Structure 1
Amino acid sequence: MFDIGFWELSLIGIVALLVIGPERLPAVARTVGKYVGRANRFVANIKDDISKELKDEDLKQILADQQKLADEYKNAASSMSASISSETESLRGNVSMDDILDIEESDQKSTIKKHPETNDSSESAPAGTEKS
C-alpha cells in the first residue's frame, strides 16, 4: 500500500523508540496498527464499491443492447405480419366464390371418374335384379 521496505520500517521504529520511549511504544504501535488496518479496510471497501458500480454499468449497458435488439426483432416481426396480412387480403380479393365452386365441381367430377362402378351399379341395375 505505502511501498515501505524493511529498512524504512527499521528507521521509523528507531525514531519512534527514541521519541516516544520504551514504556509507551507498545501502546502507540497497537494504536497505529489499528488505524492502518482501518485504512486498509476502508480502501478495500472503496475498491469493492467501485468494481460493483462498474459491473452494474456493464450489466446496464448489456441490458440496454439486448432491449434494443428485442425492439428491432419486434418491429421486424410486426412488419412481416403486416405484409403477410396484406398479401393474404389481396389473394382473398382475387379468389371469388365462383372459383371455389369451380374447384369443388372439378373435385367431384374427378371422384366420379375414379369410382364409376359405384355410381353405375346403383343407376343401371333395375330394382329386384342383381348385376353379375
Structure 2
Amino acid sequence: MIDLGLSKMALIGVVALIVIGPEKLPRVARTVGTLLGKAQRYVNDVKAEVNRSMELDELRKMKDSVETAARDVEQSVRSGAAEFEQEWSAAVGEASSALAEPTPAYPEYRHPRKKWRLKQGATPHWYKARNGIRTRALSGAARVARYRPKKFD
C-alpha cells in the first residue's frame, strides 16, 4: 500500500497550498475528508459483507454436519429399537406358549349399578356437618322452623 509519512503529507500540503490557494484550501480539504470517509465506510461495508458470507458458509457446513450426525443417531436408534422389538416379541411368544391357560368363554360378571358407595362416601359426613351441607331432605315446615329467627324473651 502507499506509505504516507509525515514528511510526504507536509509536501502534499505545501503543493496544495500553492496550487489551490489559501482561500479555497479549507473547502477542498473538507471535501477530500468527506470523500475519504465515504471510501473508508464503503471498504468497511465490503469487508463486513465478505466476512458475513464466509461465516454463513461455515455455518452451512456445520449445519450439514450436525444434520448428518443426527440422521446417523436416529437410524442407529431405530435399528436398535427394531432389534429389541423382535427379541421382545419372541420372548413374549415363548412365555405365552409356556403359560397357555384356557381362557373362559364368558366375560366376568359386573353389576350394572354405579359405584354408589364410592360416590356417597366421597365427602365425609363430619365435613358436611361442619359446613352446613344438607345430607337429608327437609320438609318445608322443618326448613322454616330451622331457619326461623329465635325470639329472645
**Richer in helix (by share):** 1
Specify every segment of 5 or more residues in structure 2 that has no aligned partner in the other structure, as ranges: 102-153
- Within the alignment, does 1:100 sit opposite 2:99 as a pair? yes
Specify every segment of 5 or more residues in structure 1 that has no aligned partner in the other structure, as ranges: 103-132
Alignment partner of 1:77: what SS?
Answer: helix
Equivalent residue runs for 1:8-19 within 5 Å: 8-19=8-19
CA–CA distance in structure 2, aligned partners of residues 95 and 3 of structure 1: 89
CA–CA distance in structure 2, aligned partners of residues 2 and 36 of structure 1: 15
Query: What percentage of residue pairs aligned between the two structures are identical?
Result: 34
Question: RMSD of the TM alignment (CA)?
Answer: 1.9
Question: Normalising by structure 2, what TM-score?
Answer: 0.59
The Cα shift of 1:57 comes to 1.7
The Cα shift of 1:96 comes to 4.0
Letter in 2 for 1:81: A
Question: Relative contact order (alpha carbons < 8 A, sep ≥ 6): 1 or 2 greater?
Answer: 1
What is the aligned partner in structure 2 of residue 47 from structure 1? Answer: 47
In the TM superposition, structure 1's runs of 4+ consecutive aligned residues that sit over 6 Å from their partners are none
CA–CA distance in structure 1, aligned partners of residues 3 and 53 of structure 2: 28
CA–CA distance in structure 1, aligned partners of residues 85 and 6 of structure 2: 81
Paired residue total: 101
The Cα shift of 1:95 comes to 3.2
Question: Normalising by structure 1, what TM-score?
Answer: 0.68
- Within the alignment, does 1:57 sit opposite 2:52 as a pair? no
